[in-house]
A and B are shown apart, each in its own frame.
Chain A
Amino acid sequence: MAEPFDPALYVPQAAAALGLPLAPEDLGDVISAFAVLARVAGPVMAFPLPEELIAAAVFIPGERARG
């Protein structure tokens, strides 16, 4: 079974992976905001989707020269 998720551990490490500095005064708010996202993502990730279903955004090469 997976370890229980702790956003306070994840957020600083994920930010470091991106080279994203987090000001100490922002850290608590970012952890809270990430915890909200994680809560929102739970049921989305738990919803099974057939493998053949592709992402809603479709890339069509060469379709729009200037786009």
Chain B
Amino acid sequence: MSLETGVCATAAAVRTGERSAVEVVQEALTRIAVRDGAINAFTTVTEERALTAATAVDAQRAAGRDPGPLAGVPFAVKNLYDIANIATVAGSHIDLDRAPASRDAALVRHLAEHGAVLVGALNMDEYAYGFSTENSHYGATRNPHDPARVAGGSSGGSAAAVAASVVPLALGSDTNGSIRVPAALCGVFGLRPTFGRLSRAGMRLFASSLDVGGPFARSVEDLAIAYDALQGADPDDAACTMRPPEPVTQILRQGLGGIRIAVATGYFSSQGVPDAFAAVERVAAALGASHRIEVPAAGLARAAAMIVTSVEGAELHLPDLIARGPEFDPMTRARFLAGALAPGAWYSHAQRLRRWYCQELTKLFRNVDVVLAPATPYPAFPIGQGLIDLGGQQLPAAGHLGVFTQPFSFAGLPTLAAPVAQTGSLPLGVQIVAAPWREDIAFRVAAAAEELGVLVSSPPIAS
């Protein structure tokens, strides 16, 4: 058995004693050493800590205690998550000067408390401001399906590490699509939970009214067990819900009975390549979903999300923009500086428009339970490509990747990004979008589609 079997199988093997946690973690460390050179997903490997934690998991089992549902599962996190005793760099050089974190981020602690073992930190766009993980300081993360192409971003290291089967589980963050875009381009599952569902304590934020953390895995079941472990109220994050956890692992196989599924049309059926829309249609056909729905003002929502993001992101980094501007990544610097200069009325109006838009989507979810939409407008493009041609229009290749993700995150909706089977040589994904706090419905639809064979995380040929 190897880590290719995923989160649940690995935990089961450790829990039954078929494998030791130390053996599993050593295998993950070997994979990092052997495979990461080709994809550049890892920025830090926490070998000593990992072996200590794995030894503790084995000792727990040996003492007859439950080592947890994620016993011995190696995982890694986007390098904006605090890891005790390591400076949290969030893809920057500037923050190498920061004091090491005093403790792990809340979500890292949750996974560790469930038996999972942290093996390292992962590459990202600087301060999460990007969709391609082309980081000038740490190098671009490469797509395991074609190392000449981007992994997507900003959680590109997380998606690539899972896609290349280096680890079965990783954490990323999503402000405008930073979990869903790389999940789609690397062909893995990724969850952006409802805004406020999971604690962000100990995460370096980017745009705090939009940011969420979430997991990546290679199957719906693996994503579900991780998501369940991540839940829990946290007074250390002012945005974190006080709702009790609503686990999904037990309801995955409840089927589609009563779930109304619609395909997003209009805005979500243009501005991309035909294959991206065909992938969504294949999922819809397999699920028997023929209903179409127009998401109102999706383009306006995306525009308002861009304003909110640029203003919140710039304000957060303003002291460094003033004192250390030249040390920002050239890939993010001009956008951060421009965001700092936006008139206040733009921001306030965008946040008021957001409330109107949320009300409109509440009406939409009276008639449907799930909306299907493409995750990205095209598959991974070559690293370094600045513009992309779409029907004669030249668009920023990285910036346009978020065209279909931003309208859903602006409303805080839970969205599961899933890899569609047989999309050709490069992966493409679908977004399964549900009403606020209804991750359970998105998971049920994903599980049904996976069982039908239309969603699958295919390993890269190179691995």
Bound state CA distance, A23 and B337, in angstroms? 11
CB distance from A22 to the nearest CB of B (A): 7
CB distance from B435 to the nearest CB of A (A): 16
- Quick one: given A41-B346, A45-B346, A49-B356, are A18 and B340 in contact (CB under 8 Å)? yes
* Docked-complex contact B355 and A55, CB < 8 angstroms: yes
Bound state CA distance, A34 and B423, in angstroms? 37
* Docked-complex contact A55 and B351, CB < 8 angstroms: yes
- Quick one: given A64-B238, A65-B235, are A56 and B352 in contact (CB under 8 Å)? yes
* Docked-complex contact B338 and A33, CB < 8 angstroms: yes
Q: Is A44 interfacial (CB 8 A cutoff)? A: yes
Stretch at the interface among B117-125, B286-294, B300-308, B439-447: B300-308
- Quick one: given A55-B348, A55-B351, are A22 and B238 in contact (CB under 8 Å)? no
What string of 1s and 0s marks CB contacts (under 8 Å) between B217-237 and chain A? 000000000000000000111
Bound state CA distance, A32 and B333, in angstroms? 12
Within 8 A of B (CB), among A36-54: 36-37, 40-41, 43-45, 47, 49, 53-54
Q: Is B335 interfacial (CB 8 A cutoff)? A: yes
Report how many residues on chain A are interfacial, defined by Cβ distance under 8 Å: 35
CB distance from B46 to the nearest CB of A (A): 27
What string of 1s and 0s marks CB contacts (under 8 Å) between A18-32 and chain B? 111111001001101
List A contacts of B303 (CB < 8 A).
40-41, 43-44
List residues of A whose CB falls within 8 A of some B CB. Answer: 10-11, 14-15, 18-23, 26, 29-30, 32-34, 36-37, 40-41, 43-45, 47, 49, 53-57, 63-67
List residues of B whose CB falls within 8 A of some A CB. Answer: 209, 235-239, 297, 299-300, 303-304, 306-307, 310, 318, 321-322, 325-326, 333-335, 337-342, 345-346, 348-356, 358
Known: A22-B325, A41-B346, A66-B236. 8 other contacts (CB 8 A): A11-B341, A20-B322, A20-B340, A20-B341, A33-B338, A34-B342, A45-B349, A55-B348
